[in-house]
Amino acid sequence: MKKALLTSSFAALAIAGGYAAAAETESATSLITLKIDPVIYIANVDPIILTPNPATPAAVSQADDYCVAGIGFSSYIVNFTSANGDFVLKNGTNEISYTVGFDDVSSSGGTPLYTTANYNENYIAQSKADTSCTGTTENASFQISVTQAAWEAQATELDKGTSFTDTLTITVTAD
Q: Do the Cβ atoms of 100 and 143 come closer than 8 Å? A: yes
- pLDDT of 30: 97
pLDDT over threshold 60, residue 164: yes
Q: How far apart (Å, rounded) are the C-alpha atoms in residues 75 and 88?
A: 29
- pLDDT of 125: 72
Task: Enumerate the domain spans of the chain.
Answer: 39-174
Read off the pLDDT of residues 66-97 as tens digits, 9 standing for 90 and up.
888 888 888 888 889 999 988 999 999 999 99
Q: How far apart (Å, rounded) are the C-alpha atoms in residues 79 and 85?
A: 13
Read off the pLDDT of residues 6-55 as tens digits, 9 standing for 90 and up.
444 444 444 555 555 567 899 999 999 998 888 888 888 999 999 999 88
pLDDT confidence band for 173 (50 / 70 / 90)? confident
More confident residue, 40 or 122: 40
Read off the pLDDT of residues 123-136 as tens digits, 9 standing for 90 and up.
777 666 667 787 66
In one-letter notation, the amino acid at residue 3 is K
